Chains A and B, each alone.
Chain A
């Protein structure tokens, strides 16, 4: 059977992985190629790279990094951040990405999902959603979680999958950074509406949180960033722990 997946997420800016930003705005950074190699050896099942650069020139630096990683790490790579057009898909796929994650770009232009799915296959198109409860309703936020689009998240998930998204990343803004566990309620609500794999994001703080997540057969993968970056949870230990608890992992 298919294993549950553990996915570290790397935010890349100015050719560096941004590990975290404190209140004074000081960033802790690392080399993305080194980090990818480290996670690969630690047993990560997939890597997600987010391009958080703004300018076009920096975008070129990002694709260079992607190429470097993809030429040395032979596990699936997902790339997101600033994907708005088919040309953006093309650019990152040619650098070795296997899947492309769309978020704000798909909210602005839902056709992008269809067109990409037709051209590259559904398995290549990941719809990433930042979701927050507003007056008891799950709403989709855009621009890195800053702007309420007013869109109903459950409807958007269903619509995105109908259009051809082959996988969903569900990031709960409500639990993000809290480290008290994944947003199971939100994840199950989404899972009820779609039949594609769901990657849970936001809220993981300890190994038990992944065990809780994977008690639900609908959940396929757990994604996290800082807890892995700051070695609060080691992927190797996490996998041993999950295996001991009856969860099939690689």
Chain B
């Protein structure tokens, strides 16, 4: 059972549908019991970092999530949900993250010049940096779908795959049982479904 954390950020329809399509049992929840009972946790998220971390803190679930992952329960953060896993974010100010993975979240501008559009929206290819069970079904050069204006930095150790957009954007990260994708696997066609499938098998 995968617990999709519902903390009032973003639309979970596609995420849920993709897990169902893969026949992966799941529940959209903000209840502690469900998270304890689930064998893995999915942390979604769209919108602004400060708003999201505040809403997540308001659920009172952060300690539960931290305890469960500490015990080894796999967690996958998606898009902003991945960014929340780092130490802090510089999105409109400075905000503390969950500190589950070392690194910070920084704006793509001005590192990425005006020649390229921000947000980074669209299909971009993955370049694998490290082998990991999460990428068990991912091929070098698989295209995945991104929508974001901020990206993970200072996280070379945990970076499993990147996509090039003037800079190398960490697309897939993992530290022990904590995983994240900057792109939306639930919107990345077959390549995305294969990553969700692999997550369901990560132990």
Q: Give me the interface of A with B, judged by CB distance under 8 Å.
A: 1-3, 5, 40, 45, 67, 70-72, 74-76, 93-96, 98, 121-123, 166-167, 195-197, 220, 250
Contact = CB atoms under 8 A, between A and B. Distances in A.
Interface stretch (B16-24, B94-102, B150-158): B16-24
Given A1-B164, A1-B165, A74 B18 contact: yes
B5 to A, nearest CB: 19
Contacts, number: 73
B123 A71 contact: no
Given A2-B165, A94-B11, A70 B17 contact: yes
Given A5-B123, A94-B11, A98-B14, A123 B117 contact: no
Interface stretch (B34-42, B62-70, B83-91, B188-196): B188-196
Given A1-B165, A197-B117, A71 B20 contact: yes
A75 B119 contact: no
A6 to B, nearest CB: 11
Contacts of B145: 75-76
Contact of A75 (B46, B121, B165, B187): B187
Contacts of A166: 119, 121
B162 interface: no
A71 B17 contact: yes
14 contacts: A1-B124, A2-B165, A3-B124, A3-B143, A70-B13, A74-B14, A74-B188, A93-B11, A96-B11, A98-B187, A123-B119, A123-B147, A166-B119, A196-B117
Contact of A96 (B13, B120, B189): B13
Given A71-B21, A74-B189, A2 B122 contact: yes
Nearest to A71: B17
A123 B121 contact: yes
Given A1-B165, A195-B117, 17 more contacts: A2-B121, A3-B122, A3-B124, A5-B123, A40-B189, A71-B17, A71-B21, A74-B188, A75-B188, A93-B11, A96-B14, A98-B187, A123-B119, A123-B147, A196-B117, A220-B122, A250-B123
B6 interface: no
B72 interface: no
Nearest to A123: B147
Contacts of B117: 195-197, 220
Contacts of B120: 2
A195 B115 CA distance: 10
Nearest to B13: A96
Contacts of B46: 121
A250 B192 CA distance: 13
A48 B47 CA distance: 23
Contact of A72 (B21, B186, B187, B192): B21
Contacts of B164: 1
Contacts of B186: 74
Contacts of B18: 74
A5 B146 CA distance: 13
Contacts of A197: 117, 121-122
A118 B117 CA distance: 20
Contacts of A121: 46-47
A219 to B, nearest CB: 12
A244 to B, nearest CB: 17
A74 B21 contact: yes
Interface string B121-146: 11110000000000000000001010
B124 A96 contact: no
Interface in B1-34: 11, 13-14, 17-18, 20-21
Contact of A45 (B123, B165, B192): B123
Closest 7 CB pairs of A and B: A2-B122, A71-B17, A250-B143, A96-B13, A3-B123, A250-B123, A123-B147
A195 B121 CA distance: 13
